[in-house]
Amino acid sequence: MNIDYIEDFIKVAECQSLNQASDLLNISTPALSKRIKHIENYFECDLFYRTSRGIFLTKNGEIVLENLLIVRQNFKNLKLQIFESINSNIRLGLLPSFSLYKLENSKKKMLDNNIEIKIENNTQILLEHLYNGDIDVIIGDITSNESQKLFYKYVYSEDYMIVYSRNSGLINNDSIAVDTLKNYKIFVLTPPCDTLAFIRKNFSEMKLEIEYKDNLESIFASVKTGQGITIIPKSLTTRVESMNLQISKLGNYSRDVGLIGYNKKTLDNVFEMLPEV
């Protein structure tokens, strides 16, 4: 059995949904379904059963999950042990929004302390790197992350903002009500995406029209031509300041950004190097 399939199996068991798990794993649903079938063939039994409500573990599936969780942790521990024996550098994963305006005065200090910086577009991808042992600490959205196996350290909070064109019909107020979202197409990045995760968590009961785009530039271009609106963390508003677009706070919604990692000492060391925010 492919070792990579262990994480796929665990994610499907956690989500109880192939579609949701495939979004988080950044693979297609048919490909994920095929991987699950490979695992079932390996163990020569059904590990899941499907209903209209989702996909759930059988009794044998629960046994496999319990043991695969141990296997996954053992692999992580082994990889960490090997890494620490050959490399003393700290590998730090960042969101673009953090690196844009928070790190300017800290880059030299980090480089002097053997900090290697890796930037990804969203927290989910950073977390996958963390789970796989590719990086040691990430700075990302900690609002929805509740794993008891990780350490967290709060850094700052930031508002969610609506970006819209001057001819959108929206009144340029300091804050715009959430109900307004129902009247507009909302552009977000193709999953996995922090903003999309925020929308699904907070507005799942609203029938919102959402369209995916591959990059922020195409999102802002579509908004500028009046095709819809977008929601972004406040730290990304520096990207639209020269585009003649309107920006308003989305109700009282915000997110917490912080450090996430398996090693508390490493977390604390990185925190000491960060600028005051």
pLDDT given for residue 102 in this prediction: 60
Rounded percentage of the chain residues whose pLDDT exceeds 90: 61
Q: What is the pLDDT of residues 251-261, one digit of tens each?
A: 999 999 999 99
pLDDT given for residue 86 in this prediction: 56
Mean pLDDT lowest among 18-22, 51-55, 235-239, 252-256? 235-239
pLDDT given for residue 6 in this prediction: 93
pTM given for the model: 0.64
d(CA 139, CA 117): 11
Per-chain mean pLDDT for the chain: 88
Domains and CATH numbers, the chain: 5-83 (1.10.10.10), 87-156+257-273 (3.40.190.10), 158-254 (3.40.190.10)
Please determine, for residue 60, whether its predicted confidence score (pLDDT) is greater than 90.
yes
Please determine, for residue 112, whether its predicted confidence score (pLDDT) is greater than 70.
no
Q: What is the pLDDT of residues 205-245, one digit of tens each?
A: 898 999 999 999 999 999 999 999 999 999 888 888 788 89
pLDDT given for residue 49 in this prediction: 95
d(CA 78, CA 241): 46
Work out the pLDDT band at 108, boundaries 50, 70, 90: low
Is the preceding omega at residue 191 within 30 degrees of 0, hence cis?
no
pLDDT given for residue 235 in this prediction: 86
Please determine, for residue 16, whether its predicted confidence score (pLDDT) is greater than 80.
yes
Return the bridge partners of 212, or none: 188
Q: How many helices (H) and strands (E) does the chain have?
A: 10, 11
Higher-scoring residue by pLDDT: 40, 88: 40
Cα distances (angstroms) measured from residue 244 to each of 14, 161, 184, 241? 43, 15, 19, 7
In 3D, which of 46, 133, 28 has the Cα closest to residue 84? 133
Work out the pLDDT band at 146, boundaries 50, 70, 90: confident
pLDDT given for residue 147 in this prediction: 79
156 token code pair? 């700052």
Query: What is the average pLDDT across 119-129?
Result: 91
In 3D, which of 179, 145, 140 has the Cα closest to residue 162? 179
Query: What is the average pLDDT across 26-41?
Result: 93
Residue written as tokens 């967290």? Answer: 152
pLDDT given for residue 225 in this prediction: 93
pLDDT given for residue 82 in this prediction: 73
256 token code pair? 């917490």
Rounded percentage of the chain residues whose pLDDT exceeds 70: 91
Work out the pLDDT band at 3, boundaries 50, 70, 90: confident
pLDDT given for residue 21 in this prediction: 93
Work out the pLDDT band at 79, boundaries 50, 70, 90: confident
